[in-house]
Amino acid sequence: KQWYQRRVAITAGGGRIIAARTARFCCDLQELFRPSIQHFPAVLSNANRLLASAKLLDVPVVVTEQYPKGLGGTCSELDISHCKVKCPKNKFSMVIPDVQTYLADNGKRKSIVLFGIEAHVCIQQTALDLLELGYDVHVIVDATSSRTDTDRMFALQRMRQAGVFLTTSESIILGLAGGSDHPQFKALQKIIKTAAADTKLLQFPTL
């Protein structure tokens, strides 16, 4: 009942989020996935926008790596030096004990901005787990991908049906800033001055 009441409240609020109540989850953007993930360079570029803006907005970042011993670490071009949690995992979902502990210790963080790979596996399972725990989840579509566009498309559709908010990197950056009076607005403008890299989402007319 409590979970249902929170879902109703989130839906009624239209998914509005506030920086002080938000965390960003960067999922498994690792070196060995580079050759196989659709639009990977563009996904990394947009992920970097999210990471850089998180630092400016004082939004904590949680980073996971899927079996890094075999799949390598996070891609070197991503600056995760300011992340609050970085941990390996074997489970597909990011909702593992270290992450759950961080969330429990930071109870005011009720909105999760989620991006990475793969959309139909780790991102989807993380989103569903977070929804069950009562969080509102915002998946960044231009910083999320899979090995095939078919899997990416249907994963995004399924997550939207489950109650996830789908949005873009620029939308979330400016949404968390709230307005041009934000003290970091000029720095944020530099991040978004160049348009987000194209991940070919417009080929999906049903999204």
List residues with catalytic annotation.
28, 89, 122
Cα–Cα separations (whole angstroms), residue 111 to 107, 180, 186: 10, 22, 25
Beta-sheet pairing, 22-27 with 61-66:
parallel
Q: How many helices (H) and strands (E) does the chain have?
A: 8, 6
Length of the chain equals: 207
Q: What does the DSSP assignment read for 12-79?
A: HTTT---GGGEEEEEE--BGGGTTTSTTHHHHHHHHHHHHHHHHHHT--EEEEEESHHHH-SB-TTS-
Distance between CA 163 and CA 165 in Å, rounded? 7
Distance between CA 178 and CA 99 in Å, rounded? 27
Distance between CA 94 and CA 121 in Å, rounded? 11
Kindly state the DSSP code that residue 134 receives in the 8-state scheme: T
